[in-house]
Structure 1
Amino acid sequence: MNLSRLKLSFTVCLFAISIFPAWGQFTQPAPTLVIRIDDLGAFHSVNEACIQTYQSGIARSVEVMPVAAWYPEAVCLLKENPGLDVGLHLVITSEWENVKWRPLTHCPSLTDENGYFYPMMGPNPAYPGQSVMENKWDLKEVEQEFRAQIEMALKNIPQLSHLTGHMLSTGFTKEVNEMVLRLAKEYHLPSIDRMDSPENYQFTYIGYDGPSRTSAEKEESFIRSLNKLEAGKRYLFLDHPALDNEEMHPVFHIGYENVALDRQGVTDLLTSPRVKQTIEDKGIKLISINQLTKGLPRATTPGKLGKAMEKYLKAAQQNNQDLHSIMIVQHGNILAEEWTCGQDKESASYIWIDSTNDKEKLADYLYPHLFRPLGIVGVKFQANLQNTNRSGWNLFFKTEDLAKMGQLFLQKGKWNGRQILSEEWTAKASAYCADGVNGQYVLVIPEKDAVIAVKAHTGNEQIKLDLIRKHLLPAL
């Protein structure tokens, strides 16, 4: 496939969407919160709980473990849930008494006499001499094992977006921290849990504010934490859901014996109606780690665009323009974003790619070459009867993904210092607008250093463009 010959055009996919009664009210930026769940692949019950907390709860990112026994099932579940953001949980420890994990590579400095990972990362009196740091671990072997886990996850999980460390494996020394940062840059997978990641990505870890032994205590303590979140700031909460059942009852390590009951409490918390209502009442915006690390930055204030947006939205409503979403990006920052539904729905898009290899699936090519560098994950493709991706239609994007596509053209094919599309080809591109039926647009405006992405369902597309020219462009 030749990515420099990429051509895009967008069309609509209809959804049943409830229109909000009031549009365009600019308010102080809400706190944003990542709910991260760990250890997908460790057990069948963990897999079930992780998917449950995503589908019926508030989880937005999950960390998967390629060395664990139930990893193959996890891969299947992730294919069924392409919208779930996925991180690779890099593992070099195996903490449980009755189940053990081995490395993917030959790394004797990281394993015990039976070939299993050591149970602990640092010294633990319950496991004397059985930690990575108490033994002569080899940095080259750590990198070798991490690379193998990364390569396996990239092969199996298209929506992989970042790296994390199981039991702080990515940052237990400065040398490991630096090595992981190098791998993160090489594979375009930002690393969370390194020593410097909260500073680099400007977020704060939060936990329970009070007792957290029972499900009820977890709920009360977490709600107290939610009530303390400050507007305009970004937070990350992580925990480990599972189910309290026969599979999990034998799972423990010395000092942590009530694993099944404790982790059922996490599942209950992350699916709690009270917690979800608190998040809604406080206007907390749930985001994924991919959005945290690769999302377009938000401007702190819309400036004069605020009033212009209010006039535009009012005019769109008066002209019966069924607007689903609009996002305005200028100088690489999101100035304004408005939705007429509770969350950003994917819209179907046309995409044509000239291919010299008919056996290569479209998704397999686009993820490493285009989507992952731009932080576009959870893209849904429809396949034909031959299980190959359709190259003419039914590729599902979110609004910010469309804005990123426009920003890529605005930046002459370059993204974060990397040339994704040929600069020569983008310079020759005559169109600065991707458009499709019923009001789907990506407008690239070089003289304003701006991009406008719109998703709608309207019978008169010209009115929508006229309203954008009248109300929004003069304010940029």
Structure 2
Amino acid sequence: MCDKAAEERVAADGRGVELVVRVDDAGLSEGVNHAIVEALRGPVARSVSVMAAAPAAAHAAGLLGSVPGVVCGLHVTLTSEWEQVRWGPVLPPARVPSLVDADGLFLRTTAELQERGGADPDEVAAEITAQLDRLRGWGLTVHYLDEHMGAGWVDGVGPAVRAVAAAEGLLDADRRAAPLPLPATGDTAAALPAAVQACPPGGPRVLITHPGFDDPALRALRGTGFPDGGVGLVRDADRRMLTDGGLWEAVRAAGAVFTDFARLAP
């Protein structure tokens, strides 16, 4: 549903909102990967951010290769937030000591990373490059970078992300498209048409989603403020939202012009 002619009209007359619908956390679990593929085969989502360090990342890469029109990005992953599923860097932990705990795993949160003094930018750049190389080695074409858990505010991280993006000719997605402003109602789908109508002009916007199935793997996850079992419910709601053709026609009628990060690249 990405319409280049419509995008050019938006750019010319200033009406409407260019909107990227991004799906995050490919690689978290096999169920999440299948939900993401379902979303990418739906009406509007084309951009998918892959966590190269996550446990089901290779499975995600295998599935994404069969999805027509998919635009892959590296979800730069420097934290490991869940209690039940933990991961560490692609590089040997000894190569990136500022990023890991005593067990060689990423710290739980960006706040913990900052409290420990931030990250060494050279180590961050090396780890990002290793994550990119892993995705490319699995056959994925990577178009952009974005930051898992918004890690770019941590000392040493943001400049490294920008440097690798520039060196690799990749879009720095988190600085290219601002989030679509949404009310704090918790019901994203219901709020979308009005949010698009009310969106102030200026630059493309991104809606970040996390599709999944309400399966045992997601229900078991604990961390980052979710109630027990809440991760599956929230992510299943995103999956259903992303496959609801009627909703996205209403969002289009409200003024959205759907695009993706490949089209936004310079």
TM-score by length of 2: 0.85
CA contact (8 A) 1:218 1:265 kept: no
Evaluate the alpha carbon distance shift between residue 259 and residue 207 of structure 1 in structure 2; reply closer, same or farther with a 3 A threshold. farther
1:20-59 to 2 correspondence within 5 Å? 28=13, 29-59=15-45
Name 2:97's counterpart in structure 1: 108
CA distance, structure 1, for counterparts of residue 234 and residue 108 of structure 2:
20
User: Aligned Cα RMSD in Å?
Assistant: 2.1
Evaluate the alpha carbon distance shift between residue 245 and residue 139 of structure 1 in structure 2; reply closer, same or farther with a 3 A threshold. same
CA distance, structure 1, for counterparts of residue 53 and residue 147 of structure 2:
13
Name 1:236's counterpart in structure 2: 206
CA contact (8 A) 1:209 1:222 kept: no
Structure 2 residues without counterparts, runs of 5 or longer: 1-8
Name 1:277's counterpart in structure 2: 249
Residue type matched to 1:41 in 2? G
After superposition, the C-alpha distances for 1:293-315 in whole angstroms (9 at most, x for unaligned) are 23xxxxxxxxxxxxxxxxxxxxx
CA distance, structure 2, for counterparts of residue 31 and residue 120 of structure 1:
33
1:372-383 to 2 correspondence within 5 Å? none
Match of 1:245 among 208, 215, 233: 215
Say if 2:143 is the partner of 1:161.
yes
Residue type matched to 1:211 in 2? T
Residue type matched to 1:186 in 2? A
After superposition, the C-alpha distances for 1:193-235 in whole angstroms (9 at most, x for unaligned) are 2xxx1xxx3x4321432411xxxx3321223212324677521
More helix as a share of residues = 2
CA contact (8 A) 1:82 1:159 kept: no
1:37 positional shift? 1.1
Evaluate the alpha carbon distance shift between residue 232 and residue 89 of structure 1 in structure 2; reply closer, same or farther with a 3 A threshold. closer
CA contact (8 A) 1:90 1:170 kept: no
CA distance, structure 2, for counterparts of residue 223 and residue 279 of structure 1:
5
Give the fraction of aligned pairs with identical amino acids, expressed as a percent: 26
Residue type matched to 1:240 in 2? H
Evaluate the alpha carbon distance shift between residue 232 and residue 139 of structure 1 in structure 2; reply closer, same or farther with a 3 A threshold. closer
CA distance, structure 1, for counterparts of residue 204 and residue 116 of structure 2:
38
Name 2:51's counterpart in structure 1: 65
1:71 positional shift? 0.8
| Structure of larger gyration radius | 1
Higher relative contact order (CA 8 A, sep 6+): 2
Match of 1:180 among 161, 171, 176: 161
Say if 2:132 is the partner of 1:150.
yes
Secondary structure of 2:157's match?
helix
CA distance, structure 2, for counterparts of residue 113 and residue 234 of structure 1:
41
Secondary structure of 1:39's match?
strand
CA distance, structure 2, for counterparts of residue 183 and residue 233 of structure 1:
23
1:257-336 to 2 correspondence within 5 Å? 257=227, 258-294=230-266
CA distance, structure 2, for counterparts of residue 184 and residue 84 of structure 1:
20
Residue type matched to 1:279 in 2? V
TM-score by length of 1: 0.49
Name 1:393's counterpart in structure 2: none
CA distance, structure 2, for counterparts of residue 192 and residue 158 of structure 1:
17
Secondary structure of 2:152's match?
coil
Structure 1 residues without counterparts, runs of 5 or longer: 1-25, 123-130, 295-476
1:279 positional shift? 2.7
Secondary structure of 1:170's match?
helix
Name 1:211's counterpart in structure 2: 185
CA distance, structure 1, for counterparts of residue 80 and residue 31 of structure 2:
18
Secondary structure of 2:265's match?
helix
More strand as a share of residues = 1
Aligned length: 249
